[in-house]
């Protein structure tokens, strides 16, 4: 369930009405009153904020009719004082209308601009057109909008990566509903009931999961084999943490901090979007139903980040944003600028899969700026998946108690390793979670030879393809996350991660020649 449904909060801009108050820049000079005509009861003229008579009926009539008589023998009254034209200020609303109303097509969002409205490529993260509009999500709190965007129509700031909203052509049947993202689809429908039964049976019950849309067999077969290649490194990382903190629970409390309330999560997300210069480009939602910490998906051609509230900890939240926005989103933006942006383009250039580089890089960025950058989560996921290949749910739950005592945390790790299974009494795993540690170690092994800025600029590509693609890259308008701009300091952080997790460069070179 997505929280804050129907709640959209945007920073508001107060626009003064044209005749509402006197402009503070106006000189405090009042026009002298003309001599009053006896017996006429003439009304006083009000002076508006820009020195012109207020648009009252009597004032307008006086401007249209020249004064034919006045007291004092026909003397002409002095006109009201007004400032030189060079000092006149045009109110924001009038200035907008003069510049923009001449061609309304310029300011119309794509879904209102007629039959020629552009349609983005399927599943694209961004569209690079000049329109710069985004429909507001009715199921998300808008941390997406910076101050000053509401005056006259809530127009988003221009951004090369701002997504288009596809407008369905009249007469065309709506497209079939797309399947939910893999991590959402693999969340069992009866999760809470089975968890309650499992706990009531003293952890000896084998959950029987049900799914709304079982994934195709080809998807489950792709992730049915767990690897043990980096098992010694995974165990070594966790033992390093236990040696320092005693148990996982202490590690979580000391390094993660407290779980943040929603208001602080929104504030932190908005601050990070400002750091990366992408306010208004990503829809953000909070949820308590994710199996992962967060997930970045594309919904209706809009990049949408859903954050798991339970994992939004004080000292870990920004790392998660570096993972999802600073890595996945910005690399997706850069990818759309390249000639290999489509599946056909990737095939034409013979590119390797983006993973494990994509998730490995993002996972490194999760801990990059921490004082104690332990790779605990990636290591435990790798370890749990490996043993799920040969264990039932209840046996796996008991096995990982060596590293995690909290039964709720153990349940979450076992659930991730067993997702997709209906009968969890059978051995089997969903091995996708091993990609994090796999990618981390491959990148750390080659960190001194990788051009990380170029890797990010090229988009969703493997670090192994960088040298081949460098001469073909389209570099203008590519974006580099703020924490990667100082390459020397970035490499120092990677070296610190290697040292803190007691990783051995020579062992990595042996495993990955």
**Catalytic residue annotation:** 324
Number of H helices, E strands in the chain: 20, 3
Instruction: List the structure tokens of 364.
Output: 């490194």
Q: In what order do the strands lie in the sheet with 302-308?
A: 283-287, 302-308, 294-299
Asked if residue 373 lies in contact with residue 496, where contact means CB atoms within 8 angstroms, the answer is: yes
Instruction: List the structure tokens of 339.
Output: 């000639």
Phi, psi for residue 336 in degrees, rounded to 5: -70, -15
Instruction: List the structure tokens of 475.
Output: 């570099």
How far is Cα 491 from Cα 487, in angstroms, rounded to an integer?
6
CB-based burial label for 85 (10 Å; 0-12, 13-18, 19+): exposed
Alpha helix locations (H) across 304-375? 317-321, 330-335, 343-349, 357-367
What's the half-sphere exposure (Cβ side, CA atoms, 13 Å) at 119?
8
What's the distance, CA 70 to chain centroid? 69
- What long-range pairs does 248-251 form, CB within 8 A, spacing at least 24? 248/376, 248/403, 248/404, 248/405, 248/406, 248/409, 249/405, 249/406, 251/374, 251/376
- Which one-letter DSSP state was computed for residue 112? G
Taking the CA atoms of residue 128, residue 132, residue 138 and residue 143 in that order, the dihedral angle to the nearest 10 degrees is 100
- Which one-letter DSSP state was computed for residue 280? T
- Which one-letter DSSP state was computed for residue 421? -
Asked if residue 284 lies in contact with residue 134, where contact means CB atoms within 8 angstroms, the answer is: no
How far is Cα 327 from Cα 342, in angstroms, rounded to an integer?
19
Strand-pair partners of 35: none
Contact residues for 464 (Cβ-Cβ < 8 A; gap 6+): 352, 357
Phi, psi for residue 501 in degrees, rounded to 5: -95, 10
What's the chain's Rg over C-alpha atoms? 31
Phi, psi for residue 104 in degrees, rounded to 5: -65, -20
Asked if residue 384 lies in contact with residue 413, where contact means CB atoms within 8 angstroms, the answer is: yes
Asked if residue 3 lies in contact with residue 137, where contact means CB atoms within 8 angstroms, the answer is: no
């Amino acid at each position: 369930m997505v929280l804050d449904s129907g709640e959209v909060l945007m920073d508001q801009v107060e626009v003064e009405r044209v005749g509402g108050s006197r402009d503070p820049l106006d000189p405090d000079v009042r026009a002298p009153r003309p001599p009053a005509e006896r017996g006429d009861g003439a009304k006083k003229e009000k002076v508006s904020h820009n020195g012109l008579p207020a648009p009252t009926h009597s004032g307008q009539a006086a401007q249209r009719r020249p004064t034919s008589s006045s007291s004092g023998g026909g003397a002409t009254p002095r006109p009201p004082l007004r400032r030189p034209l060079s000092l006149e200020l045009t109110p924001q609303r009038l200035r907008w209308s003069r510049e923009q109303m001449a061609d309304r097509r310029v300011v119309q969002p794509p879904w209102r601009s007629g039959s020629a409205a552009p349609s983005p490529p399927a599943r694209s993260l961004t569209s690079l057109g000049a329109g710069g509009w985004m429909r507001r999500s009715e199921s998300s709190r808008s941390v997406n909008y910076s101050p000053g965007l509401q005056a006259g129509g809530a127009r988003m700031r221009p951004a090369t990566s701002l997504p288009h909203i596809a407008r369905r052509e009249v007469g065309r049947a709506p497209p079939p509903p797309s399947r939910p993202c893999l991590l959402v689809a693999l969340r069992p429908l009866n999760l809470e009931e089975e968890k309650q039964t499992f706990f009531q049976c003293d952890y000896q019950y084998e959950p029987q999961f049900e799914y709304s849309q079982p994934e195709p067999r080809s998807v489950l077969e792709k992730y049915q084999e767990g690897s043990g290649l980096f098992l010694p490194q995974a165990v070594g990382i966790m033992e390093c943490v236990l040696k320092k903190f005693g148990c996982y629970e202490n590690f979580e409390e000391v390094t993660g901090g407290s779980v943040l309330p929603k208001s602080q999560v929104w504030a932190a997300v908005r601050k990070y979007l400002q750091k990366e210069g992408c306010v208004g480009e990503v829809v953000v939602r909070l949820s308590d139903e994710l199996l992962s910490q967060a997930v970045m998906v594309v919904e209706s051609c809009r990049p949408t980040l859903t954050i798991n509230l339970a994992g939004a900890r004080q000292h870990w939240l920004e790392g998660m944003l570096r993972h999802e926005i600073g890595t996945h989103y910005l690399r997706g933006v850069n990818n759309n600028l390249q000639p290999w942006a489509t599946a056909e383009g990737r095939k034409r250039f013979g590119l390797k899969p983006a993973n494990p580089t994509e998730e490995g890089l993002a996972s490194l960025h999760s801990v990059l700026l921490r004082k104690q950058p332990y790779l605990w989560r990636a290591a435990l996921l790798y370890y749990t998946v490996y043993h799920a290949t040969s264990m039932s749910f209840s046996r796996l739950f008991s096995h990982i108690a060596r590293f995690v005592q909290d039964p709720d945390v153990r349940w979450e790790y076992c659930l991730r390793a067993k997702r997709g299974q209906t009968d969890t009494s059978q051995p089997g795993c969903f091995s996708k979670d091993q990609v994090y540690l796999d990618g981390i170690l491959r990148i750390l092994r080659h960190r001194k030879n990788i051009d990380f800025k170029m890797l990010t600029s090229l988009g969703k590509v493997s670090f192994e393809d960088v040298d081949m693609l460098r001469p073909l890259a389209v570099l203008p308008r590519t974006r580099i996350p703020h924490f990667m701009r100082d390459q020397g300091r970035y490499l120092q952080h990677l070296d610190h991660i290697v040292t803190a997790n007691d990783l051995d460069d020579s062992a990595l070179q042996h495993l990955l020649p």
